[in-house]
Structure 1
């Protein structure tokens, strides 16, 4: 199994074991889709990566304005559910969509566990070395 499939598999596993999670994506620090759950088409994954990257950037700007330090995570309540984002120190992020009935604490905890597994795979150096998901494998934990 290639590393890019491993990353997708980790996202799928996260979505399957975390109740009420429908989609998850990993976004590089430069806003590109690294991997997504198989429940998303590649086009939709790219759109969500751009949206998630923009959201993380806006939150970073607001935190700077208020001198509040780095943004670690965010939960946005939507009419149809929750959108979670989690940032890494290099600007990479995870974006997760869950139903309105999810356990917000459980999803946040599981995202933290997932972040510990995949954080290194989201750096530009890793993507440059091995290519994007559409071009080849992405390293996990190397």
Structure 2
């Protein structure tokens, strides 16, 4: 499977953030917390930190799934409401998370829907191969 070029992914994230009212940053990372690409973060150190945080948060959401339908469902999206704004996290492709940061004025339904659409459009190019243990 071909990966989307980093510059192209950066442009896709920029376009997404610029057309979503009240969104100000977007990050693509692996489900195990490795940063792949981002747009709109105020400091380069935030890229890896936010990737690790979103990985943990999405994992917690998947853990909560056990309380619904005997744990047979899929975690579609996790939304966190924080004092500073909103954080949306969804699995946009295999082993790949898309996270969006927005202000409290953001339309939750619109951002959630558009994140799903973005995942469907470019998700196959974003897939991250799972890490495997190396032979010792």
Which bin holds the TM-score, normalised by the shorter protein? Answer: 0.7 to 0.9
Q: Using the alignment, how far apart are the partners of 1:88 and 1:19 within structure 2?
A: 20
Off by >2 Å, runs of 4+ in structure 1: 38-42, 64-68, 88-91, 120-125
Residues 27 and 122 of structure 1 are in contact (CA less than 8 Å); yes or no, is this contact kept in structure 2? no
Matched with 1:97 is: 101
Higher relative contact order (CA closer than 8 Å, sequence separation 6+) = 1
What is the CA-CA distance between 1:88 and the residue it aligns to?
Answer: 4.3
Figure out how many residues of one structure are paired with residues of the other and give that number.
125
Matched with 1:48 is: 50
TM-score normalised over the length of structure 2: 0.81
Cα RMSD (Å): 2.1
The one-character-per-residue Cα deviations of 1:101-139 (angstroms, maximum 9, x if unpaired) are 1111111121112112331233234xxxxxxxxxxxxxx
Matched with 2:123 is: 119
Which 5+ residue runs of structure 1 have no aligned equivalent?
126-142
2:61 is paired with a residue whose SS is helix
Query: Which is strand-richer, 1 or 2?
Result: 2
TM-score normalised over the length of structure 1: 0.78
Distance 1:116 1:41, change over 3 A: farther
